[in-house]
Amino acid sequence: MRRYQFFYLIFFLTLAAIVSFCLFTDVSPLVSCDKWKYSHSSSPEKYYAHPVDLVVTPWRGQHNVYGTFIIPNGYKNDGFFTLTLPGDKTYCGQLLNVSGFVIPGVYPKPKNRVLRGYLNTRIALWLILQGHINDLKQPNNWKLGYFESKKIKRNTDSVYHHSNTKSI
């Protein structure tokens, strides 16, 4: 009787592992590639930047797959970056402004802004298991869209400033 219990235990553990793996690989990414932040009518021209620095070490834990982008000040970005692999498969990641931090090896000009685009570790591991580690390390596969922001000019002549008046 014990022999059958051991067989059932191994069978159900294997089944649970297979189901867990299927659910793990079918989960949608945390960052979607919706282009809701950028509309073609809001700006006439869109530019693209590729990372100046790439780190692809997902086995070291979370936040170890990222690209460092540099864009000019006064420009807005899409709010996410895209990673396009051969076969037209596109993944997106979230951005973090790291302009105030010292990043070894990255020396931007004073009028530039530094952004770091993080790819979900789970997605990176899955891509590596599929054999795309060299594609992850190619800067041309990573892309950040940015465009010139509309600046609202205020008329400062009609504003009353208390410091400009003299009392008699």
Measured between alpha carbons, how far is 159 from 156 in angstroms, rounded to an integer? 5
Angstrom CA distances, 105 to 9, 16, 34, 53, stand at: 53, 45, 32, 8
What's the N-to-C CA distance of the chain in angstroms?
A: 107
pLDDT score of 90 = 87
pLDDT score of 73 = 86
Per-residue pLDDT of the chain (168 residues; tens, 9 = 90+): 577 788 888 888 898 887 777 666 655 555 567 655 554 445 568 889 999 888 888 888 788 889 989 888 888 888 888 888 888 788 888 888 887 766 676 767 778 888 889 998 888 888 899 888 899 999 999 999 888 876 633 444 444 344 443 334
